[in-house]
Structure 1
Amino acid sequence: MEKPRKKFIDVVDKAMVAANTMDRDELLFSYKGILYPVTVCSPEVFKAMESLEARSDDVILAGYPKSGTNWVGQILSDLVATFEKKMQNEESINDEDLEEFPYLEVGDTGKYERMNKLPSRRVIFTHLLPDNLPRSVFQNKAKILLLIRNPKDVATSFYHFSNGMSVLPSYETWDDFFIAFMTEKMPWGSYFNYLSEWNKYAEDENVMTITYEELKENRALGVKNIAAFFGISLTEEELQGVVERSSFQSMKENSLKTHGALGSILFRKGGVSDWKSLFNEDQNEKMDKAFEEHIAGTKLGMKLKYDVYCRA
């Protein structure tokens, strides 16, 4: 099911070429108080996005950048593709003319009218806050898989990604990046605000939360639970195929085909606790304090098992 994603590769390639001609301070713009990359997002696109008509059978993945959305997105896309093939409806998912860039907020102003004409099921990824999604997502009770990951590994992965991806500002040192991460100067906004805002929806019946860490611990169980949440009925053998194709090694080997030049940047290590290679004692204390202040007592905060994955 790991077919080439021409639209994904084309959009990323064009964005990287454009970013290479820009100065560092030109790479981001602010919209409603949140920074976004100028070569992949625009105010006009955000306004046009409201015209998207969400459906109850949409498969939506929400996650802060570098929480594992490309990995879990592969799982979701594979689950849907496997089910569609089983239902002998493969044409609807393999037609390149119908393909759109999977991240909701990335595209052109005509994207959402095209998406409104796409057959079900549509697989949609987003890094947006819930209040910045089209209102129809909640009005029409679309199901959302909320992916969260411990903040120290998110910051570590974001640092390496920023320095490898020309559409984002790069950083001379980890210390410089850490200051930006902790002072809400990141593309798509503050990690802590992201979890705080999504926590308001954590009890909704149409929202399922899964952590990057629990999926790493037991991918087979995670895939099974995700399929059940979205009502995707597959055999044990079919589910196992999805599990095998979603291993980090398998995805890394196929990354050039599925994600183009971005593949090697996206699929760097895929582990847990890589933060220990970068954080110093003072940074650990600052992150621990921020976690306690903002999300420790919330449902999402408790689900992260911070003491297990983030204590020095």
Structure 2
Amino acid sequence: MEGEGEKTGTGSTKSRLQHLLEKASQMQPEDMLFRYHGLLYPSTLCSEESLRLYAKFEARPEDMCIASYPKCGFNWVYALFCGIATAVQGKAEEEKNNMAKKITLLEFSDAEGYEMMKSCPSPRVYGTHCHYENLPPSIIEKKAKVLVVFRNPKDVAVSYYHFCQNNPLLPNPTSWDDFFKQYMMGEVAWGSYFDSALIWEKHIDDEDVMVITYEELKENLPGGVQKIADFFGHSLTEEQIQNIARKGTFQAMNDNSKETHSVLGKVFFRKGVIGDWKTLFTEEQSQEMDAKFVECLAGTKLAAKLNYNLYCKT
């Protein structure tokens, strides 16, 4: 889950977050997730009503949309999006910071938040953790471009586990072993990583879809910024690309996390490394994940982009 600290059109960031934290503190762990159309969602952050509004969202062709399974790098890419949109719109740095506090995840918004978005200048920046088949229909109808962010499933599992451990808005896993079982069964918020991957694989060659990986961005961030800008049809100078990349490093975002994500800043920006899965996976769990990856994604274009053997084999 990303974007808990941001404004969604109702009150200030701080007051909204305080309200959410108070709400969560009074909830039992089993009540912190609810099921809607077969998938689990965090009940502290969205509701059936917010998801119904999400389905009615009106996209624009020039929108910049990010779709990612949780903990694949959403916040990182969202910051890059804001940098690109700021450069395109010719806004000052202060306005970029304000943009970063607006709606990020559509499914967390309310009626007031969606109304506010109608007056936002293009290109609007927003995202979702939902896969292609759960996108608001207008995104497809208006041919809005969608950047899909993926990360190797072992690092996602470990990052997701720590995120649930440290985020008071989510149920705290009783142990890594229990979380791993839930993750593999898709019994976590937004469902199965592999189901999401399989659905996006069907659309990997769509004209309005581009897949980029966390690992790809770690290896060459300026190149990733250029690739993202090109996909959305925005021309940036080399200076703008380097500036966006410099401010989009893990260290820079971690240093600024209190400003962007309030008291949850350190929850969102923990390590930002590749290979952290080795700190928790047992050999048996590693083999189980390897088998699942082969079963679901072997021979696919998405598998080739994820470079599983490089990042997920000991």
TM bucket (normalised to shorter chain) is over 0.9
User: What amino acid is aligned across from residue 126 of structure 1 in structure 2?
Assistant: T
Question: Which runs of structure 2 are paired with 1:127-276 in the superposition (5 Å)?
Answer: 127-276=129-278
* Larger CA deviation: 268-277 vs 124-133: 124-133
The aligned residue for residue 76 of structure 2 is 71
* TM-score, scaled relative to structure 1: 0.92
Pair 1:15–1:180, CA change in 2 (3 A): same
The aligned residue for residue 51 of structure 1 is 56
The answer to whether the 8 A contact 1:84-1:93 is kept is no
CA–CA distance in structure 2, aligned partners of residues 91 and 153 of structure 1: 32
Paired positions, count: 305
Offset of 1:18 from its aligned partner?
1.1
The answer to whether the 8 A contact 2:165-2:172 is kept is yes
CA deviation vs aligned residue, 1:244-263 (integer Å, no higher than 9, x gap): 00111111001001111111
1:28 to 19, 33, 55: 33
CA–CA distance in structure 2, aligned partners of residues 91 and 218 of structure 1: 24
The aligned residue for residue 303 of structure 2 is 301
User: What amino acid is aligned across from residue 297 of structure 1 in structure 2?
Assistant: G
* Larger CA deviation: 48-57 vs 59-68: 48-57
The aligned residue for residue 277 of structure 1 is 279
CA–CA distance in structure 1, aligned partners of residues 50 and 94 of structure 2: 25
Pair 1:308–1:52, CA change in 2 (3 A): same
Unaligned runs of 5+ in 2: none
CA deviation vs aligned residue, 1:20-48 (integer Å, no higher than 9, x gap): 11010010000000000001111111112
The answer to whether the 8 A contact 1:92-1:119 is kept is no
Offset of 1:116 from its aligned partner?
2.8
User: What amino acid is aligned across from residue 238 of structure 1 in structure 2?
Assistant: Q
Runs ≥4 residues deviating over 3 A: 8-13, 89-100
CA deviation vs aligned residue, 1:151-197 (integer Å, no higher than 9, x gap): 00000000000000112111132111111111111101110001111
Pair 1:112–1:68, CA change in 2 (3 A): same
* TM-score, scaled relative to structure 2: 0.92
The answer to whether the 8 A contact 2:6-2:102 is kept is no
Question: Which runs of structure 2 are paired with 1:85-96 in the superposition (5 Å)?
Answer: 85=90
The aligned residue for residue 125 of structure 1 is 127
CA–CA distance in structure 2, aligned partners of residues 252 and 39 of structure 1: 24
